Amino acid sequence: MNLFEIFYRRILKPSVWARPQMPVTFRAEVMPGKSREERTFRISRVLPNGRVILDEVNGEHRESEFEALNFSREKPQKKAD
């Protein structure tokens, strides 16, 4: 990989794992004894370094503190006929 490819991947096209207003859930190890609903918060801001600031939680948080994203979890379930 040459220098240009490294520059392009890291600076011009960084990987984005979060967006404002997206719900994220802390891993159970980070908040033991709490239900999924109690560990779920909304992102208020994404910082340039990839960390996020959450509504109702102080501090910066990184991707590894949260459960893997599962976009199908939020979709409405189909009712069986």
Q: How far is CA 65 from CA 30, 33, 46, 50, 60, in A?
A: 7, 16, 15, 13, 11
Q: Is residue 2 part of a domain?
A: no
Contact 61, 36 (CB under 8 A): no
What's the domain range around 63?
Answer: 18-72
Q: Is residue 46 part of a domain?
A: yes
pTM above 0.85, yes or no: no
d(CA 31, CA 19): 22
pLDDT at 81 over 60: no
Amino acid identity of 9? R
Give residue 48's pLDDT.
83
Q: Is residue 49 part of a domain?
A: yes
When divided into structural domains, the chain yields a total of 1
pLDDT at 14 over 70: no
